[in-house]
Structure 1
Amino acid sequence: MQKRRTEEGFNLSFLDVMACGLGAVLMILIVVKFQASTDAPSTEIERLKHELAATQQQAQSLQKKVSIAQQSFAQTDAQNSDTQQQIAALELVQQATKQALSEQRAVVADLESAVAAAAPLQVDDPIQLQGTGEENYLLGLKVEGRRIGIMIDASASMTDEQLIQIIRRKIGPTAQKQQGPKWQRTKRVAKWMLARVPKNAQVSVISFNSSAQVLGNRPVSSAKVQSSLQAIVNDIDALVPHNGTNLYGALQTMRSTFADLDALYIITDGLPTMLSAVQGFRETKTCKPLTGNMKTIDGDCRARIHQFSIAQVAPKVPTHIVLLPLEGDPLAPALYWNWANNTGGTMISPARSWP
């Protein structure tokens, strides 16, 4: 009986093993090559690009801010340098001003001493005054001339400085008007002028409000005659300040009383409020001083009356003006200064303690 060859269910040969190993190697090579040739996802690249652009833009913005800050710092530093230079210059100016002021004070003190030493004693004056004395004579105001005219404003506003007080005294009794502080001062100024009139001079004194009045025994008095000056003083003491101010009428009266005067002195506190019946003045809706039916008159209208009066009847001589304070008349100082300056005279607004 023949023997059967035994058959096995699984027979692995060397070639099979080699084939399997070669296949595995090929598979590994295929996989590695696939992974090497596969690109990164496009969305990730775009994200990275956007982040890079944003970072670059932020860096540029920061660089601009740094540049602006550097420029601002440079400008601030330059401004600080200019400010320091200005401060130094101002300090030099301040020092120079202080030195100049000190020198001017010394000059004024020397002048006051010289004036006090050169002035005559008050007891020699023809008019005796109650005041603080000769040492307080005003520098710049001197009564001089051979034919002197003095005009005293005796209108209602000459009683006081404040409008409310002027109104109260205006409706009050005569004694209250005469006791007004500004009127008392006005009388002292007028007497001060009379006391300083040169001995060889002639003088005419006129008081004026709505009308003009010549004071004294005669229209023109000699300064040598003490009784004549005393008569003028007596008339001044008897005056009662009231009514408005007619500068035109006062100047017209002065010219007709003393035609050839060579110096004019005026004591007043503001611009005129009235005008005589004359031709040539053009009235407007808000300025009717000729008709006399205006309850109030504004500053522009008063200025027009002032200028018209000067142009028409003011004498062409040096005109000196003592302007006392008045509330609510801001144009008066400039206009009176122009009048005095144009004639070669002096306009002063003295301290309340003078004379």
Structure 2
Amino acid sequence: MSPLNLAFLDIMSCGLGAVVLIFLLIKHNVNSNNIDDNNLMEEATVLSKINLELESEIDLLSKKNLETLKKITDLKTNLENFKKEQSDIKEDILGIDEENKTLEGKLKKEEGNLDNIDLVNLDGKNEQSYLTGLKIEGDSIIILMDTSASMSDEKLINIIQRKISSNKIKSEGKKWLQTVRAVKWILARLPEKSNFQFIYFNENSKIYSEKTKMFKAKDKKVLNEIILSLSSLFPEKGTNLLSAFEAARKINATSPNIYLITDGLPTIGKKTNLLDRNKNSVSPKERLNIFRESESYFIKNFPRSSLNIILLPLEGDIDASYHYWQFTKKTNGLFLSPSKDWP
């Protein structure tokens, strides 16, 4: 083979190699461009999604921001209203303080006037006043006032009717008004140098001012307070005489003379077998047993005291007068069964 042919073949081989190389390069660039385009599309999709999410979050934050601004505005308004109300309240308090000072001044003035007023204005005073042998005497005196339901009236039918009536109607009963007058009658005749205490009772008992000390009979303020307190009482519930004696026992007094205003034998005792609280009535025998219990307690705990009894009438309790008269006799006391118009 000639050198010329060899040179030609070399040239042809180089040319073919160049063509192949160009072909490979062109094919590679096409694939690379396709891959880049696909990546760009995917990234654009992701960015678009992120953009939508950001816009949604921005809208949400904008709404929350508006709500927060509204709340801040409302709070500012409420704060201003609160400050205004607080200012009004302070002005009201100052006004109330001024009114209280004025009322306190008037109250002190009225209290001073009260000391000079005698509400116990029944005729006849001090130990010189008598009524059928009943005399108010002694260094220590305790008054026991029965405020049970039967004290409203003499007749049972009227008592039952008043039981279911208003307190005002209960306190308008003739016998109750007589009971109140009887208490005033005793208070008007307390010896000037004596000491006294007042107890009212029905199922339970209550000592005046809830204190166990005695008060001086010449203390007009105490007397007037007791008289005024009578207007707030009304007859109700059962009669527990033992409770009254137990309350009197708590009073710090030596051998007091006791004045009892009642209308019949008691209906409630300490021993449970004497009275079934679920029963609507108490038999005469049960009432007598309850009375005996109270009588025994008094004689045991007040051996040197006299019991004086003002017994008002009660329909159906015919034995009460006899038993109470015997009771006062045992204690060297006095018994009075007054007329309807006394005192």
Residue 293 of structure 2 corresponds to 308
Residue 261 of structure 2 corresponds to 267
Question: In 2, distance between residues paired with 1:328 and 1:259?
Answer: 36
Give the secondary structure class of the aligned counterpart of 2:310. Answer: strand
- Aligned pair 1:234/2:228, yes or no? yes
Spell out, residue by residue over 1:197-231, the C-alpha distance to the aligned partner (whole angstroms, 9 max, x if none): 11111101100000001124744211121001111
Maintained 8 Å contact 2:145/2:200: yes
One-letter identity of the residue aligned with 2:327:
W
- Aligned pair 1:297/2:282, yes or no? yes
Shift of 1:156: 0.2
Residue 141 of structure 1 corresponds to 134
Question: In 2, distance between residues paired with 1:297 and 1:217?
Answer: 31
Give the secondary structure class of the aligned counterpart of 1:238. Answer: coil
Residue 319 of structure 2 corresponds to 331
Residue 17 of structure 1 corresponds to none
**Unaligned stretches of 5+ in structure 1?**
1-124
Maintained 8 Å contact 2:120/2:224: no
- Aligned pair 1:188/2:217, yes or no? no
Question: In 2, distance between residues paired with 1:171 and 1:263?
Answer: 36
One-letter identity of the residue aligned with 2:121:
L
Question: In 2, distance between residues paired with 1:137 and 1:129?
Answer: 16
Shift of 1:344: 0.7
One-letter identity of the residue aligned with 1:128:
V
Q: How does 1:78-157 map to 2 (within 5 A)?
A: 127-129=119-121, 133-134=123-124, 137-157=130-150
- Aligned pair 1:161/2:154, yes or no? yes
Question: In 1, distance between residues paired with 2:298 and 2:328?
Answer: 15
- Aligned pair 1:349/2:342, yes or no? no
One-letter identity of the residue aligned with 1:326:
L
Residue 47 of structure 1 corresponds to none
Maintained 8 Å contact 2:170/2:234: yes
Shift of 1:126: 5.2
Q: 1:248 aligns with which of 222, 242, 262?
A: 242
Give the secondary structure class of the aligned counterpart of 2:222. Answer: helix
One-letter identity of the residue aligned with 1:129:
N
Maintained 8 Å contact 2:148/2:239: yes
Question: What's the RMSD between the two structures over aligned residues?
Answer: 2.2
Shift of 1:353: 1.6
Shift of 1:255: 0.5
Spell out, residue by residue over 1:20-40, the C-alpha distance to the aligned partner (whole angstroms, 9 max, x if none): xxxxxxxxxxxxxxxxxxxxx
Question: In 1, distance between residues paired with 2:167 and 2:311?
Answer: 24
Q: 1:319 aligns with which of 293, 307, 312?
A: 307
User: May I ask how many residue pairs the two structures share in their alignment?
Assistant: 221
**Unaligned stretches of 5+ in structure 2?**
1-116
Give the secondary structure class of the aligned counterpart of 2:230. Answer: helix
Maintained 8 Å contact 1:204/1:258: no
Identity of aligned residues (%): 36
Provide the TM-score with structure 2 as the length reference.
Answer: 0.61
Question: In 2, distance between residues paired with 1:160 and 1:347?
Answer: 21
Shift of 1:260: 2.1
